[in-house]
Amino acid sequence: MKTDVMTSQERLWAAIHLEQPDRVPLVPTLLPEPAAGLAGVSQATIASDNSEVVKAVFKVFDDYGGWDAIYPASYIPVQLQLGGVFPMKIKVPGQHIADDIPFQLEEVEILRLEDYDKIAEVGFDAFFNEDFLWRVTDVAPDEVRGHMDNLMIGGASFLEECANRDVQPLFLASGMHPFFKLSLMRSLVPFTQDIYYNPEPVERAIRRMTDDLLVEQKLSAINTGLGMWMCCEERAGGYFFRPEIFERFWWPYTKELVESQWSEGIVTLFHLDTCWDKNLHYFKELPKGSAILELDGTTDIFLAKEILGDHLCLKGDVPAALLAVGKPEEVTNYCRERIEKVGRGGGYILGTGCSVPPNAKPENFRAMIESVHQ
Q: At what angle do helices 115-122 and 199-224 cross, to 10 degrees?
A: 40
Across 238-254, average pLDDT: 97
Q: Which long-range contacts (CB under 8 A, 24 or more apart) does 278-281 make?
A: 278/237, 278/238, 278/243, 279/236, 279/237, 279/238, 279/243, 279/246, 280/304, 280/307, 280/308, 281/307
For residue 91, the tally of other CB atoms under 10 A from its CB is: 15
Q: Residue 318 has what pLDDT?
A: 98
Structure confidence by residue, pLDDT tens digits, 271-303: 999 999 999 999 999 999 999 999 999 999 999
8 A C-beta contact, residue 257 and residue 234: no
Confidence of residue 2 (pLDDT cuts 50, 70, 90): low
Q: Residue 62 has what pLDDT?
A: 98
Q: Residue 220 has what pLDDT?
A: 84
Q: Is the pLDDT of residue 221 over 90?
A: no
The pTM (predicted TM-score) of the whole model is: 0.96
Confidence of residue 218 (pLDDT cuts 50, 70, 90): confident
Across 18-40, average pLDDT: 98
Q: Residue 82 has what pLDDT?
A: 97
Q: Is the pLDDT of residue 3 over 90?
A: no
* Length of the chain, in residues: 374
What's the mean pLDDT when you consider all of the chain?
96
8 A C-beta contact, residue 124 and residue 115: no
8 A C-beta contact, residue 56 and residue 40: no
- Measured in degrees and rounded to the nearest 5, phi and psi for residue 323 equal -70, -25
Nearest-CA neighbor of 155 among 138, 127, 174, 140? 174
DSSP string covering 40-102: T--HHHHTT-HHHHHHHHHHHHHHTT--SSB------HHHHHHTTSS-SEEE-BTTTB-TTS-
Structure confidence by residue, pLDDT tens digits, 318-334: 999 999 999 999 999 99
8 A C-beta contact, residue 260 and residue 187: no
3-state secondary structure of 189: helix
Report the share of the chain in percent with pLDDT over 70.
99
Kind and range of the H or E run holding 315 = strand 313-318
Q: Are strands 89-91 and 104-106 parallel, antiparallel or unpaired?
A: antiparallel
CATH of 8-371, one of 3.20.20.210, 3.40.50.300, 3.40.1410.10, 3.40.190.10: 3.20.20.210
Domain boundaries, the chain: 8-371
Structure confidence by residue, pLDDT tens digits, 121-163: 999 999 999 999 999 999 999 999 999 999 999 999 999 999 9
Q: Residue 288 has what pLDDT?
A: 98
